[in-house]
């Protein structure tokens, strides 16, 4: 029986990417259970009533099912990290992103579920939000808050990565160069080599697998 925290994850889920980034960044180790979203294991439902990932189960029985909660938990284990006076500004930006941009992204990704507008209109709405809320920041700073890669960059980048992937050719041709350069810098971070590694689908009875992988 492992005494490590257990993380239920799905590699491509941007919320799960957030959690893995913080765990990797803080040099923690968790038992990772990679799930298939179309066939979620009973064990995931037992700890996450909505059946969502990420879900982090701590050895003391505490369960976290919100990605930001997991990020802040991981950062709290790193005694070299201390919240700065920028923390409130970052959390406000992340909340704005999650409540405003994420629905626009979903409509762009799945236009068949949002037929009130055309696919192009969904694309334009999402791009307008990025222009007015992200690109304006990048005109002033290398990253979203200042010259440093911070929590807000890590929390928001996986979703803009998805946005870019919907129509890669269109993004390259039309997206603001500042946005493209920022995303390229983020994706060059070492996390996207270590944190995006593939794990086999977890099934009950499997031997523990760890993230980051133990050497």
pLDDT averages per 10-residue partition of the chain, 215 residues:
87 95 92 95 94 96 96 83 73 96 97 95 98 96 92 95 97 97 91 84 95 75
Q: What is the pTM of this model?
A: 0.92
1 within a domain of the structure (yes/no): no
- What's the pLDDT at 3? 85
Short-list 149, 145, 129, CA closest to 22: 149
Q: Same structural domain for residues 52 and 19?
A: yes
Predicted pLDDT at 1: 46
Whether 53 is covered by a domain: the verdict is yes
Residues 99 and 164 in one domain: yes
3-state secondary structure of 7: strand
Domain count, the chain: 2
Domain region containing 56: 6-81+195-211
Residues 100 and 180 in one domain: yes
Name the CA dihedral angle for 133, 10, 62, 213, rounded to a multiple of 10 degrees: -110
Looking at residue 139, its pLDDT comes to 96
Residues 185, 92 within the same domain: yes
What was the pLDDT predicted at 24?
Answer: 92
Residue 57 lies in a domain: yes
């Amino acid at each position: 029986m492992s005494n490590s925290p257990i993380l239920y994850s799905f590699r491509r889920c941007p919320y799960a990417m957030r959690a893995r980034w913080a765990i990797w960044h803080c040099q923690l180790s968790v038992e990772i259970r990679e799930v298939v979203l179309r066939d979620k294991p009973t064990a995931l439902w037992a700890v996450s009533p909505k059946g969502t990932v990420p879900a982090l189960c701590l050895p003391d029985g505490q369960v976290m099912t919100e990605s930001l909660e997991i990020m802040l938990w991981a950062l709290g284990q790193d005694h070299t990290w201390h919240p700065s006076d920028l923390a409130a500004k970052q959390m406000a930006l992340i909340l704005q992103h999650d409540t405003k941009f994420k629905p626009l992204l979903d409509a762009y990704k799945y236009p068949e579920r949002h037929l009130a507008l055309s696919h192009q209109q969904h694309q334009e709405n999402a791009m307008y939000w990025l222009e007015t809320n992200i690109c304006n920041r990048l005109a002033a700073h290398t990253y979203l808050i200042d010259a440093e890669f911070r929590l807000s960059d890590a929390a928001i980048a996986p979703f803009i990565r998805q946005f870019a992937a919907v129509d890669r050719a269109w993004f390259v041709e039309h997206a603001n160069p500042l946005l493209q350069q920022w995303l390229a810098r983020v994706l060059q971070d070492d996390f996207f080599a270590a944190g995006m590694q593939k794990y086999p689908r977890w099934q009950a009875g499997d031997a523990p697998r760890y993230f980051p992988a133990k050497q």
